[in-house]
A and B are shown apart, each in its own frame.
Chain A
Amino acid sequence: MKEIIVPNDLTAAKEPERLILTDAEACGYCENATFAIKLALEEAMTNAFRHGNNCDPDKHIRVRFEVSPERIEIEISDEGGGFDPGRVPDPTQPEFIDRPHGRGIMLMRAYLDEVEYSECGKTVRLVKLKKP
């Protein structure tokens, strides 16, 4: 796997996205797949920046990734205190639809084939399979 560690700011957090999408393009992923990866990456990096690292500029986000013609696998880790993803409410339920926040994890799950949290929520593993 390739690895990149970026400072905890949203401009720096774009660099892993550019690298992964460039590799995805080279491996022939279609535009729907790259849209899905881009959206999931933006959600995961925003969560790491804001909720994990609490917008602290002294912290970092680590991204490990592997792009092959069959699948894209990404691990994103922050330096925060972790969280329980099971306690995040489903934003599509009627009582939560008009909440401004809380759609990131749901979107990752909707657009990817696997979304798994580990290390008490400090690392998220994302997998996108290439569809025939």
Chain B
Amino acid sequence: MTTHSHDHRKGFAPDSPFRMEIERRAAVAIVKLHGSCTMEVSRRLGEQLLDLAAENITHIILDMADLDFIESTGLGGVVSSYLRCRRRSGDLRLVAPQAPILAVLQLTRLTQLFPVFDTLEEALTAPPGQT
């Protein structure tokens, strides 16, 4: 797992622009998240993921390596799209969340819903139900 620990660094990082890069591979969508998924933009994440789930996409992989912040509305969008994928026997996988975001996922116990992988390759090749 690639993580970044900032325990003793001072100060705060200002928001960085939030954006998503989407790559479709048949029924799989790889979504690379960049920047800060803050309250004024977080609904875009859920809307984009639900749009994917409305296509023929049943498996969503969220690459979080370059995501530095997410709040609960953004997490809610991820959960909604996960539910949509699951109804069609699909799933949603997470890749390389940074340490603060992994902590949020663990505190909310969302890691019980979404398997977390160290690398995109692992997320692409792991069989269903394997974390």
Which residues of A are in contact with B by a Cβ distance under 8 Å? 10-11, 13-14, 21, 24-25, 28-32, 34-35, 38-39, 42-43, 45-46, 49, 91-92, 97-101, 103-104, 106-107, 110
Which residues of B are in contact with A by a Cβ distance under 8 Å? 6-13, 15, 38-40, 46, 69, 71-73, 75-77, 79-80, 82-83, 100, 104, 107-110, 112-113
State A64–B39 Cα separation when bound (angstroms). Answer: 20
Interface core residue of A13, A21, A100 (most chain B CB under 10 Å): A100
- Residues on B with C-beta less than 8 A from A46 are 39, 71-73
CB distance from B42 to the nearest CB of A (A): 8
Report the nearest B residue to A12, measured CB to CB.
B40
List 15 A-B pairs, Cβ < 8 Å: A10-B39, A25-B12, A29-B12, A31-B11, A35-B69, A42-B39, A43-B71, A91-B108, A92-B108, A97-B112, A99-B79, A100-B46, A103-B72, A107-B104, A107-B107
